[in-house]
Amino acid sequence: MNRVGIVAKVDRPEAREVVPRLVEWLTSRSKQVLLEKETAELIAHPKTAVRKSDLPAQADLLVVLGGDGTLLSMARLIGDLGVPILGVNLGGLGFLTATTEAELFPTLEALFRGEMLVEERMMLAAQVFRQDERLAEYVALNDVVITKSAMSRIITLAVAVEGQYATGYRADGLIISTPTGSTAYNLSAGGPIVFPTMDAVVLTPICSHTLTNRPIVLPASLRIKVTLLTEQQEVMLTLDGQVGVALKERDVVEVRQASPRIRLVRDPRRHFFSVLRTKLKWGER
């Protein structure tokens, strides 16, 4: 891991202090430092500045300084390159950016000695079809969400799994989540927590009008098609809460397991359940 890419949430005050120290630390260990363009503005004499979209192809490791949102935006750019990500939390909840600022340099030392785990997580691929024409294709690490606007009425969705009609939803929307995303929007909507390295997909309705509609966990290998049956409503498809497209009546959103997998650096001493206890106060009374 000789080429280290750095991406920071530049509006975090901590980033202005951490990025220069990180660059100096890596340089002193003969690592080639590649800075995302906005991140490069945080240091007086920037090293190589690279566009965010080009960074994964040029790095052996990505260090993401910020929160889960910063990491999610990078994850969608990696594709099938397989570049591992070390997420460092500069504030907020931080499930994906589980490493603290104080742990940054010891974690990097351990990683370069081969003492850290690189954990693989599945992603989702979503395609939007309108009158059988594919309009767009996206990938998401956390979730694919179909939701109404604030002023819209309840929307109606029809869900098919592997070509077979499964169920209909009359709700504010539908969350299609990965195990990684199960502790995000899915959890807030009453969905289950799923162990993050599993290959599974969770369907969780948002404020369902039918009380018998409950979240369901499906094998990741199954193809899911969601058809919007509501007309003259403002409905959006969003990916990881960051990318979106407006949907129309009879649009079809097809979701399947993406072929690329994201690789996250993890301390083997920090288990998923310890993260739950720390972040969610899980199990406390």
What's this model's pTM, rounded to 2 decimal places? 0.92
Name, in order, each residue with C-beta under 8 angstroms of 160's C-beta and a sequence gap of 6 or more. 166, 224, 225, 227
Could you list the active site residues?
A: 68
Model confidence pLDDT, tens digit, residues 38-67: 999 998 777 679 999 999 999 999 999 998
Q: Does residue 93 carry a pLDDT above 80?
A: no
Distance CA 197, CA 283 (A): 21
Kindly report which listed range (89-93, 108-112, 206-210, 243-247) carries the lowest average pLDDT score: 89-93
CATH code for the domain defined by 123-259: 2.60.200.30
Range list for CATH 3.40.50.10330 in the chain: 3-116+267-280
| 203 close to 176: Cβ distance less than 8 angstroms | yes
> Cα-flanking dihedrals φ and ψ of residue 162, to 5°?
55, 40
Task: Give CA separation, 93 vs 37, 88, 97, 98, 280, in Å.
Answer: 26, 11, 9, 9, 9
When pLDDT is averaged across residues 269-273 and rounded to a whole number, the result is 85
Class of domain 3-116+267-280: alpha beta
Taking alpha carbons only, the member of 77, 74, 76 closest to residue 86 is 74
- Secondary structure letter of residue 282 according to DSSP: T
* For the chain, percent of residues with pLDDT exceeding 90: 78
Residues 239-251 as b or e (16 or more Cβ within 10 Å = b) = bbbebeeebeeeb
| 172 close to 145: Cβ distance less than 8 angstroms | no
Range list for CATH 2.60.200.30 in the chain: 123-259
Rg over alpha carbons for the chain, rounded to the nearest Å, is: 20
Task: Give CA separation, 13 vs 6, 266, 281, in Å.
Answer: 16, 25, 27
Does residue 116 come out as left (phi exceeding 0), alpha (psi in the -120 to 50 range) or beta? beta
| 245 close to 234: Cβ distance less than 8 angstroms | no
